[in-house]
Amino acid sequence: MNKKYIIIILLCIIISIISGIITKDLLIGGTILATGLLCAYFASEGKRVNYILGLINYILMGYVAFKNNLFGIFFFYIFIFSTLQIHGYISWKRNLDNSDNVNAREFTLKNSIIITLSCIISSFILGYLLSLIPGQRLAIMDASSNCINLCGVILLNLRFKEAWWIWLVNNIIDLTIWTITVINKGNGSIMMLLVSIGYLLINIYGIIKWSMNAKKNNEKLKTCEQR
């Protein structure tokens, strides 16, 4: 295994253990933080192992969301995002380069308009449906987070670099949700806030990394077309 990967893995585990001890949430929270950070990092590197880590992460985050009456997040994480991790693992296997990294793609203007409108419309529809559930909190934010995150997961499965920009928007919403939940002293909320902060940093790295990869792939395609 690459030395850089070993260092990143050990660093994430150490950070997760320390955070888990400080927040007194080592088992569930520590595992969520470790798998979340590693999943996002390996996704930014174009490695399929991110989907295995993501499956574990979504199941545990769904459990925490359920404990905090965030039923939209619970439903999406357990029944949709977990399933998409399996699909992504299989999909990426068919689109690897010689270095075992996935080939990145770019949006067209049409793609951008469709995705943006889809996220906005679906967020309001889901937000309304969630508001009908007794005990549901932050319905619109919950719905927006899930719809945007879902778009990001699907786009990543399809190898579009814009998935990272969409997740950047989602990160801002997630940070808001879990900051409010921390203020209200929700179960496991401090660790979830730390996970969101970690995702934000890795997302910025993912944007840079995938933009570079997409540019290289476009140059390869142009070279092949010229030949």
Task: Say what the pLDDT of residue 143 is.
Answer: 84
One-letter amino acid identity for 17? I
Listed in sequence order, the residues at least 6 apart from 88 whose beta carbon sits closer than 8 Å to its beta carbon are 51, 54, 153, 156, 157
Residue 54's closest CA among 69, 67, 71, 41?
A: 41
Contacts of 48 (CB under 8 A, 6+ apart): 89, 92, 93, 96, 102
Task: State residue 170 phi and psi, 5-degree precision.
Answer: -65, -35
Largest CA distance in the chain: 63
d(CA 147, CA 81): 11
Instruction: Answer whether 123's CB lies under 8 Å from 135's CB.
Output: no
Measured CA to CA, the distance from residue 172 to residue 174 in angstroms comes to 6
Per-residue pLDDT of the chain (227 residues), as tens digits, is: 688 899 999 999 998 999 889 888 889 988 988 998 899 899 988 889 999 999 999 999 899 888 888 887 788 889 988 999 999 998 888 877 766 777 788 877 787 888 888 888 988 898 888 888 888 777 887 788 778 888 888 888 888 888 888 888 888 888 888 888 888 887 777 877 887 888 888 888 889 988 888 787 767 656 655 55
Residue carrying structure tokens 């179960």: 187
48: which 2 tokens? 């399929």
CB atoms within 10 A of CB 91: 17
